[in-house]
Amino acid sequence: MFGSYYRTEKIWQIRWKGARKLENAMLLSPANSSQKALISGIEAEAGTSINLCYQCGKCTGGCPAAFAMDYPPRQVIRLLQLGLVEEALNAESIWICASCETCSSRCPRGVDIASLMDTMRREALKRGKKDKRVAAFNKAFLFNVKNFGRTYEAGLLLQYNLTTGQLFKDMGLGLPMMQRGKVSVLPEKIKARDEMKKIFERAEKLGGEQ
Amino acid sequence: MKFAYYPGCSADGSGIEYGLSMERTAKILGFELQELEDWNCCGATSGHNTNKLLSLALPARNLAIAEKTGLNMMIAPCAACYSRHRNAEHTVQHDPEMKKKIEQVLDMELQGTTETLSILDVLVNKIGTDAIAAQVKNPLTTMKAASYYGCLLVRPVEHTGFDDPEDPQTMDKIMKALGADAVEWSHKTECCGAALVTSRPDVGTRMLYRVLKDAQESGAECLVTACPLCMLNLDMRQTAVEKEYKEKFNLPIYYVTELLAIACGDEPKTVGLEKHFVEAGQYLQTVKVRAQEAKAAAEKAAQEAAAKASASKGKAAKTGDATAEPDQKKIEAFKTALTKTPDKMAAKLVADAAQAGILASILDEKRIEKLANLMAKDMELAQKAAAAFVQQELKRQGECQD
């Protein structure tokens, strides 16, 4: 029932056309052509436009993790608007974002900020700029999915702790988890494990082209 | 009704109670779950943080499997699984270029016919709260529950769309159908911190604290969730939050399906309630005792009222017909008074000045007739009727504002 009311795609398309006219405004920014190309690439992959943002700050106001960020969401967009894309990719904020989507769902201009954050995390990862702890968690998580087809919680925590050098982190929770039958010692495996590996390989190959 | 079923990785791991209670819920409400054959992990947040194409391909493989079953509705109880599948579904339907890429990665064809549903959507919009209420054997009367939706069940609304993203109501409706009180609170859709609680505890713990604190301050005695990660964080990490902030919460956390099964007659053990970290059985006992007391008190009040009524009837019979019938003259006098000086009379009937004002403003012929009759017979009854009129009016005004 709320779907039609909140559905923003149509409005977004209209706004996108309007934003195209603003392209001249970009001429005023100090960004060079490679920075501009990078920003356009990020916008295209995120499926949104930073030129729509009029800096009202509603995203930052609602962001549950803004208290820990060096550049809160509004400022991340501002950096991109000014062409300071390296600064934005280096920001700790993009790794603190929990992908809760509050910003995107509240933005009065229909900017998909969460999707931008997501795209910037992937871009930063490609460039070797990353938050070690978050990236280590993601890597450990996907390693299990690739090899077993499922999440393997015990393996995930062990691998995460080993790679981040926090050997005894959450050890106090491991035993109670096992006692409650909430974590199995061995991984659950699906039958189509070869297929999973192929999916990962092809996605890495094709996904890189974007 | 039959649904394809995607349990998600946590259903036999950290969220085992969710898996158990989900199956019980289906049995109790009489719908069938057909588990997808050889399903894989959706990739969750780690997937879309790393590779967009992969994050769409992983859930799309499950959608392709679901398409083969011929069932076009699939239940994904976990909020993250639900969100990822919903996202993939949306892309397959609206982005033909991306769809082609996904099919290439999967080496499978996609029709885009499967609709992934959250358990809240299924319970409220497919089964219906009346059907749920009909199965309740032990209502959770006097339970004060904060319905916690978290992020991904209601956002982004273009992908979810079954409830309001700011003040969702579906879980509240289910809790009311089970007899509980749904507490109004402001952190219904705030994020619990998700994986940050593990990877960045400095950030995640504070997010968790805010949710627990707001629930407590709003008068909730427990939280209800429909997401295994919210459960894991709120339940398993609650002690760590209490330690960090030097405050006691002691708030039991329940899956909405656990409470449904228990209210419909299941033993807490059947749904794995003893596996929780924050003790969850004791509060249910407290609720049970309170519910029994409330029921007994209501019965007692009803009996007393009945006894009083029969006593006054006996009295009236003894004194004869002349006084048993309220004096017509008296009624007429009250009627004129009510019509001419409604403010004065209303103040006599209702103690609260503001409410008396409301009563005076809504007095029409019908209401005056009734009140005058009652005032001539028994002042106490008239006051009760007046209070009821005021309540009715207040409720009507409240509904208009909505």
Q: Residue A167 and residue A183: Cα distance in Å, rounded?
A: 18
Tell me, what's the pLDDT at A1? Answer: 45
Tell me, what's the pLDDT at B335? Answer: 82
For residues B153 and B277, state if they share a domain. Answer: yes
For residues B110 and B188, state if they share a domain. Answer: no
Report whether B160 contacts B153 (CB < 8 A). yes
| A169-175 contacts at long range (C-beta below 8 A, 24 or more positions apart) | A170/B198, A173/B236
The alpha carbon of residue A36 is apart from the nearest alpha carbon of chain B, in Å, by: 22
Burial grade of A2 (CB within 10 A; 0-12, 13-18, 19 or more) = middle
Report whether B100 contacts A206 (CB < 8 A). no
**B284 within a domain of the structure (yes/no):** yes
Which amino acid appears at position A17 of this protein? Answer: K
Report whether B98 contacts B55 (CB < 8 A). no
Tokens (6 digits) for B394? 């207040």
| ipTM reported for the complex, 2 dp | 0.84
Contact A104 B155 (CB under 8 A): yes
Instruction: Give the pLDDT confidence of B285-301 residue by residue, as tens digits.
Output: 999 999 999 889 999 99
Contact B157 A180 (CB under 8 A): no
Contact B207 A6 (CB under 8 A): no
Distance between alpha carbon A7 and the CA centroid of its chain, in Å? 22
Tell me, what's the pLDDT at A17? Answer: 61
Q: What is the pLDDT along chain A (210 residues), one digit of tens a residue?
A: 444 444 455 555 655 665 655 555 555 667 888 999 999 999 999 999 999 999 999 999 999 999 999 999 999 999 999 999 999 999 999 999 999 999 999 999 999 999 999 999 999 999 998 888 888 889 999 999 999 999 988 888 888 888 888 877 887 788 888 888 888 888 899 999 999 999 999 999 987 533
Instruction: Give the pLDDT confidence of A180-206 residue by residue, as tens digits.
Output: 888 888 889 999 999 999 999 999 998
On chain A, the residues whose CB falls within 8 A of the CB of B47 are: 142, 145
Q: What is the DSSP letter of A68?
A: G
**Can you tell me the mean pLDDT for B250-257?**
97
- Comparing CA positions, the residue from A42, A50, A56 lying closest to residue A25 is A50
Which residues, 6+ apart, have CB-to-CB distance to B271 below 8 Å?
B17, B20, B21, B24, B257, B258, B261, B262
For residues B38 and B98, state if they share a domain. Answer: yes
Q: Residue B172 and residue B189: Cα distance in Å, rounded?
A: 13
Secondary structure E strands in chain A = none
Widest CA span of chain A, in angstroms? 63
Give the 3-state secondary structure of residue A127.
coil
Tell me, what's the pLDDT at B157? Answer: 87
> Strand pairing of B144-148 and B181-182?
parallel
End-to-end CA distance of chain B: give it in Å, rounded.
34
Q: Name the residue facing A203 among B54, B161, B204 (closest C-beta).
A: B54
Query: If pLDDT is split at 50, 70 and 90, which confidence band does B325 have?
Result: low
B195: pLDDT strictly greater than 50:
yes
Closest-approach residue (CA) in chain B for A112: B156
On chain B, the residues whose CB falls within 8 A of the CB of A173 are: 236
Tell me, what's the pLDDT at A185? Answer: 81
On chain B, the residues whose CB falls within 8 A of the CB of A136 are: 199
For residues B153 and B228, state if they share a domain. Answer: yes
**B34 within a domain of the structure (yes/no):** yes
Query: How far is the CA of B39 from the CAs of A151, A192, A193, B61, B108, in angstroms?
Result: 12, 9, 11, 8, 14
What CATH number corresponds to the domain at position B146? 3.40.50.11810
Q: How many CA atoms lie within 13 A of B96 on its CB side?
A: 0
Q: Residue A111 and residue B107: Cα distance in Å, rounded?
A: 33
**B145 within a domain of the structure (yes/no):** yes
Q: Is B14 on the interface with A (CB under 8 A)?
A: yes
3-state DSSP: chain A helix, strand, coil percent, rounded to 5? 65, 0, 35
Widest CA span of chain B, in angstroms? 95
Q: What is the DSSP letter of A128?
A: T
Contact B156 A183 (CB under 8 A): no
**B240 within a domain of the structure (yes/no):** yes
Report whether B240 contacts B205 (CB < 8 A). yes
B386: pLDDT strictly greater than 60:
yes
Which amino acid appears at position B107 of this protein? Answer: D
For residues B109 and B134, state if they share a domain. Answer: no
3-state secondary structure chain B: CEEEECCCHHHHCCCHHHHHHHHHHHHHHCCEEEECCCCCCCCHHHHHHHCHHHHHHHHHHHHHHHHHHCCCEEECCCHHHHHHHHHHHHHHHHCHHHHHHHHHHHCCCCCCCCEEECHHHHHHHHHCHHHHHHHCCCCCCCCEEEEECCCCCCCCCCCCCCCCCCCCCHHHHHHHHCCCEECCCCCCCCCCCCCHHHHCHHHHHHHHHHHHHHHHHCCCCEEEECCHHHHHHHHHCHHHHHHHHCCCCCCCEEEHHHHHHHHCCCCHHHHCHHHCCCCCHHHHHHHHHHHHHHHHHHHHHHHHHHHHHHHHHHHHHHHCHHHHCCCHHHHHHHHHHHHHCHHHHHHHHCCCHHHHHHHHHHCCHHHHHHHHHHHHHCHHHHHHHHHHHHHHHHHHHHHHHC
- Comparing CA positions, the residue from A196, A191, A207, A192 lying closest to residue A146 is A196
Contact B14 A177 (CB under 8 A): yes
Contact A65 B194 (CB under 8 A): no
Tell me, what's the pLDDT at A6? Answer: 47
**B302 within a domain of the structure (yes/no):** no
Contact B40 A170 (CB under 8 A): no
Tell me, what's the pLDDT at A160? Answer: 87
**B99 within a domain of the structure (yes/no):** yes
Tokens (6 digits) for B232? 């894991």
The alpha carbon of residue A104 is apart from the nearest alpha carbon of chain B, in Å, by: 7
**Paired residues of B144 in beta bridges:** B181
Domain that holds residue B338: 326-401
| Structural domain ending residue among the three candidates B290, B309, B341 | B290
Q: Name the residue facing A203 among B41, B53, B164 (closest C-beta).
A: B53
Q: Name the residue facing A203 among B39, B105, B207 (closest C-beta).
A: B105
**B249 within a domain of the structure (yes/no):** yes
Report whether A115 contacts A46 (CB < 8 A). yes
Q: Residue B18 and residue B258: Cα distance in Å, rounded?
A: 7
Contact B198 A160 (CB under 8 A): yes
Q: Residue B158 and residue B171: Cα distance in Å, rounded?
A: 20
Tell me, what's the pLDDT at A19? Answer: 60
For residues B44 and B100, state if they share a domain. Answer: yes
For residues B204 and B345, state if they share a domain. Answer: no
Contact B275 A182 (CB under 8 A): yes
Distance between alpha carbon B155 and the CA centroid of its chain, in Å? 18
Tokens (6 digits) for B105? 């990665």
- Comparing CA positions, the residue from B153, B139, B121 lying closest to residue B31 is B121
- Comparing CA positions, the residue from B46, B33, B110 lying closest to residue B74 is B33
Q: Is B13 on the interface with A (CB under 8 A)?
A: yes
On chain B, the residues whose CB falls within 8 A of the CB of A45 are: 52
Size of interface A-B (CB pairs under 8 A): 191
User: Which residue has better confidence, B64 or B386?
Assistant: B64
**B304 within a domain of the structure (yes/no):** no
For residues B138 and B262, state if they share a domain. Answer: yes
In chain B, positions 60-79, which contact chain A (CB-CB < 8 Å)?
A: 61
For residues B216 and B261, state if they share a domain. Answer: yes
Report whether A108 contacts A69 (CB < 8 A). no
For residues B33 and B107, state if they share a domain. Answer: yes
Contact A125 B38 (CB under 8 A): no
Structural domain spans, chain A: 30-126, 132-207
Domain count, chain B: 3
In chain B, positions 18-57, which contact chain A (CB-CB < 8 Å)?
A: 38-41, 43-54, 57
On chain A, the residues whose CB falls within 8 A of the CB of B165 are: 2, 6, 105
Give the alpha-carbon dihedral of B61, B65, B70, B76, to 10 degrees.
-70
Q: Which CATH superfamily is domain A30-126 in?
A: Alpha-helical ferredoxin (1.10.1060.10)
| Structural domain ending residue among the three candidates B97, B117, B137 | B117
Distance between alpha carbon B245 and the CA centroid of its chain, in Å? 29
For residues B104 and B148, state if they share a domain. Answer: no
What CATH number corresponds to the domain at position B56? 1.20.1050.140
| Structural domain ending residue among the three candidates B290, B308, B341 | B290
User: Which residue has better confidence, A121 or B402?
Assistant: A121
